[in-house]
Amino acid sequence: MGRLSVNLCGIELDNPVIPASGTFGYGYEYAELFDINCLGTFSFKGTTKDPRFGNPTPRIAECTAGMINAVGLQNPGVEQVIAHELPELKKCFHKPVMANVSGFSVEDYAYTCQKLDKEEQVGWLEVNVSCPNVHGGGMSFGTDPKAAAEVTAAVKKVTTKPVIVKLSPNVTDVVSIAKACEDAGADGISLINTMLGMRFDLRTRKPIIANKMGGFSGPAIFPVALRMVYQVAQSVNVPVVGMGGVSSAEDVIEMMTAGASAVEVGAANLVNPYICKQIIDDLPRVMDEYRINTLSELTGGAF
């Protein structure tokens, strides 16, 4: 293993830097800007069983040290992802990719994960349980340990590849949900997804986003994400992928110190499309500054 190498659920990564789902498309769009094979891997756009147009516009609102989005899982559906997006990606990315999956019922999750599990390019399944459960009154699967565990167990029954469950921060006790997912068979936990926020237009006195509220992300949420990663990493025995406001090599190292085995970079990609490459290039300098020999020995250094 190299100095920057890490292991995520049994798969070695050249480095721990992973563009987060929803901020990197299906990869080939960014491949026009730089060689995306420099990445550890990336999590592609959240994919559902059926195509989704997403929420009405406007979907984006700027705010201090971050942004709010309510895109609404716009994607072409799993069949089109397998038929078109993955073959296009294969032309420019030669590593295992992380498949991010969303759903509105347990059956949705199982169907989509089973389909993607068969794809050679897919290395991990990142299961986003922040979606509203249409059979449970619209409450997110990720707000209830039992519901999160049910999704995890259903996906594990129909897949062979590592399943990483992505958790919402919009809960009182994220640790209980993480442990429920681990007990149900999750191979890893990733967190945090976006927080819930909103902005108003003072001229119209109405919410800027058509959906009224949306996911708050960016540097402002980094301390909250760091705290939750630290809490979960101390409580589970599976790898943790940390994310939330990460925008520098120092942030990556801080996340790993809090217990993350790998680190996702989200909103920063939308501000600077080269940010992940720049972070990777800068990691050796920051490691030297803090006398870190290898990143693999760093995880959980604060415990």
Q: Report d(CA 222, CA 166) in Å as an integer.
A: 16
Strands 188-191 and 240-242: parallel
Read off the amino acid at residue 184.
Answer: A
Of the residues 9, 113, 131, 181, which is catalytic? 131
**Taking Cα atoms as reference points, which of 102, 91, 95, 87 lies closest to residue 13?**
95
Q: Report d(CA 30, CA 40) in Å as an integer.
A: 15
Q: Report d(CA 18, CA 42) in Å as an integer.
A: 5
Strands 200-201 and 206-207: antiparallel
Annotated active-site residue 38? The verdict is no
| Residues 13/294, Cβ–Cβ less than 8 Å | no
Q: Report d(CA 8, CA 13) in Å as an integer.
A: 7
Tokens (6 digits) for 193: 């997804």
Q: Report d(CA 46, CA 52) in Å as an integer.
A: 11
Give the CA radius of gyration of the chain: 18
What is the set of active-site residues?
A: 131
